[in-house]
Structure 1
Amino acid sequence: MQQLKGKQKRYLRSQAHGMRPLFQVGKEGLSANWLAQIEDAIEKRELFKINILQNALVEDEEVVAFIEDNTAIQVVQKIGHVLVVYKRATKKENRSYSNEVAKL
């Protein structure tokens, strides 16, 4: 997995700014099933937000570590209880953000 440069992260953050969180972490916490759903969605979208609810039994840092340790997904930004995550799609037809990121 290639680390993103500053310009690339800024671009992704700007693209994610208007998005609403697509996934949540709640009192059920983190599971393999939840992670599989995230991997399916990131393949189609490349970039989205995850909201960590107040009643979640895990800390924000635990969620970041769980995602980055078990997948190739990168956490681009963490603001409060919201994470912006990104991964380049393997299918060319799903690549919208990664084509722009590659140019930066």
Structure 2
Amino acid sequence: MKALAPAQRQFLKGLAHTRQPVVMIGNQGLTAAVLKEVDHALAAHELVKIKAASNEAEMRRSWLEEICAATGAAPVQQIGKVLVIYRAAAKPVIVLPG
């Protein structure tokens, strides 16, 4: 899991604000299929919003950590049931400050 500088995290939060979730974690929880979709979404978009169906905050925090560990992404933020992660592409489209 990569660490982002505070300025980079703030920049990515601003970009994520207008985006819609592209992956949903349903009642089955975090499955291999969901992780595969997250990986594909990161390859296509770099910055991804994920909607989690769980009402348990600790479960969502755990999923965020697992997703980042499995995909090599960095956590940007978690607001309620929405998780935001970032992973730079081979040819980055998003240029981070600093």
SS of equivalent to 1:59 = helix
What is the CA-CA distance between 1:31 and the residue it aligns to?
1.2
User: How high is the sequence identity, in percent, across the aligned residues?
Assistant: 31
Q: Per-residue deviation at 1:69?
A: 2.3
Instruction: Report the alpha carbon displacement of residue 26 of structure 1 after superposing the two structures with TM.
Output: 1.0
How many residues were matched structurally?
Answer: 97
- The residue number in structure 1 matching 2:32 is 32
Name the structure 1 match of 2:71: 71
Q: What are structure 2's unaligned runs of at least 5 residues? A: none
Alignment of 1:21-60 (within 5 A): 21-54=21-54, 59-60=59-60
CA separation of 1:67/1:2 partners in 2, compared to 1, >3 Å: closer, same or farther?
closer
TM-score by length of 1: 0.82
Per the alignment, do residues 30 and 18 of structure 1 end up closer, same or farther by CA in structure 2, a change over 3 Å counting? same
Q: Confirm or deny: 8 A CA contact 1:9 1:76 kept in the other structure.
A: yes
Deviation per CA, 1:51-75: give whole Å up to 9, x if none. Answer: 112478x821221121122220111
Q: Distance in 2 between matches of 1:9 and 1:55?
A: 25
- Which consecutive residues of structure 1, in runs of 5 or more, have no partner in the other structure? none
User: Does 2:75 align with 1:96?
Assistant: no
Deviating beyond 3 angstroms after TM superposition, the runs of 4 or more aligned structure 1 residues are none
Q: Which residue of 2 aligns with 1:4?
A: 4
TM-score (norm 2): 0.87
Is the 2:23–2:34 Cα contact (8 Å) retained in structure 1? no
**What is the root-mean-square deviation of aligned Cα atoms in Å?**
1.9
Paired with 2:11 and 2:50, the residues of 1 have a C-alpha distance of 18
What amino acid maps onto 2:76 in structure 1? V
